[in-house]
Amino acid sequence: IPLAQVITKLIGLGVMASQNEVIDEDTCILLADDFGKEINIVEAEEEISIEEEMGLNYEDKENQLKPRPPVVTVMGHVDHGKTSLLDVIKHSHVQTSEAGGITQHIGAYTVNVNNKKVTFLDTPGHEAFTSMRLRGAQITDIAILVVAADDGVMPQTIEAISHAKSANVPIIVAINKIDKPSANLDRVKQELLDNGLMPEDWGGDTIMVPVSAKTKEGIDDLLEMVLLEAEMLELKANPNRKAIGTIIEARLDKGKGPMATVLVQKGTLKFGDNVVSGFSSGRIRAMIDDKNKQIKKAGPSMPAVILGLSDVPNAGDLIYAVEDEKTARTIADKNKESSRESRINTNNRVSLENLFDRI
Ligand code: GDP
Ligand code: MG
């Protein structure tokens, strides 16, 4: 069956798929049915990474878990104000004690709201939901869906809703550009309702906050809603173990070598830790936070740039702190070996990324 036909049918089923999309069991059955076919689902063999095989990603006990900040992604249609909103939040909520504020883009940053921390992914929302999720990483706790009050629900708004829903990530809507004379809140709410998001003030359970990235109106309300949602999610992690995190961004710096932004998920990542991520391993010889400040450690939900890796790791891959340098190198070598055996098609990342605008 031609690919275009399959994709068209999937879109008809409400699944915004690209050619390498992973679809769930129910969708498979519906899709096959549409083509007059019946399919048998057999259990897929679970893929276990070398790190998992070695028991590095063990579960923590309930009593070891401590509250952690929420990790938030901003999504929405092009030009609805994602970048503007992230900028306003970044610049108006950095800790006032930090002179200079945030000086560099590292792919994530943490702000203080009423003495509580919130981490924002400063990268395109689609990446957090597509390429990263393809690799099994689910790092976002809450999605802020930006909808321009003068433009309403657009194709990428609907895509964002579908991505957040399939990832089971709660959505908070920021109805942006309310400063514009042509803003129409009720129309936007109606359109969102038509797309499965019922406004709280209409009896539904989706929080919708009118904001303006231009006048900064409503931004504090939005952040408070994020904290409220985070509280209900009871996000927790064990800070007292060897760290596991996800690579948010990575690049080769001419002078400093491979640099990677890690979002810590479990444990505490420390200066001097031996780490491994895919083929890349090394000892952390510097850690920098989102304010370009040298730090010694980063706990759950905190982003940090690390130096000391042998190679540039892949965004979306996990990174593990391990016992010693030899363990790190052995795992990296094994990862190289197993990837040679089953070449992963990295093309699907590119095609998925091209589907959406960049932030
Ligand atoms: P993105 O594509 O979603 O990242 O959107 P941008 O943040 O780049 O914003 C697109 C355009 O809308 C820019 O020209 C912004 O200055 C403008 N814009 C963003 N937020 C607001 C707002 O609250 N009010 C008004 N009037 N313009 C806004
Ligand atoms: Mg943008």
Dist. CA 210 → ligand 1 center (Å): 14
Asked if residue 123 has its Cβ within 6 Å of ligand 1, the reply is no
Find out whether 315 and 247 touch, Cβ atoms under 8 Å: yes
Q: Are 209 and 192 in contact (CB under 8 A)?
A: no
* Backbone phi, psi, residue 229, to 5°: -60, -40
Regarding the beta carbon of 214 and ligand 1, being less than 6 Å apart is answered yes
Q: Is the complex ipTM more than 0.95? A: yes
Residues with CB under 5 A from ligand 2 (ion): 82-83, 359
CB 114 within 8 Å of CB 220: no
Q: Which of 6, 16, 20, 24 is nearest to 156 (CA)?
A: 16
User: Quick one: pLDDT at residue 27?
Assistant: 84
What is the pLDDT at residue 133? 54
pLDDT score recorded for residue 129? 58
Is ligand 1 within 6 A of the CB of residue 218?
no
Nearest residue to 307 via CA among 272, 332, 334: 272
- Ligand 2 centroid–CA 313 distance in Å is 25
Whether 180 is in the pocket of ligand 1, judged by its Cβ within 6 Å, is yes
Which of 78, 79, 150, 175 to mutate for ligand 1's pocket (most ligand atoms within 8 Å of CB)? Answer: 79
Q: Is 212 near ligand 1, meaning CB less than 6 Å away?
A: yes
Ligand 1 contacts CB of residue 81 (under 6 A): yes
Contact 230, 142 (CB under 8 A): yes
Q: Running DSSP on this structure, what letter comes out for residue 268?
A: B
The partner residues of 253 in beta bridges, in order of sequence, read 257
| Ligand number, closest to the Cα atom of 89 | 1
How many angstroms separate the CA atoms of 131 and 111, rounded?
26
pLDDT for 344 equals 43
- Label the pairing between strands 142-148 and 171-176: parallel
Task: Single out the residue of 236, 282, 232, 279 nearest to residue 256, CA to CA.
Answer: 282
Question: What is d(CA 120, CA 47) in angstroms, rounded to the nearest whole number?
Answer: 30
- pTM here is 0.82
pLDDT of res. 124:
57
pLDDT in tens, the chain (359 residues): 898 999 998 888 888 888 777 787 778 888 888 899 888 877 766 678 899 989 999 999 999 999 999 999 999 999 999 999 999 998 876 554 455 555 567 889 999 998 999 999 886 556 555 555 545 557 899 999 999 999 999 999 998 998 888 888 999 999 999 999 999 999 999 999 999 999 999 999 999 999 999 999 999 999 999 999 999 999 999 999 999 999 998 999 999 999 999 999 999 999 999 999 999 999 999 999 998 899 999 999 999 999 999 999 998 889 999 999 999 999 999 999 887 765 544 334 433 444 443 34
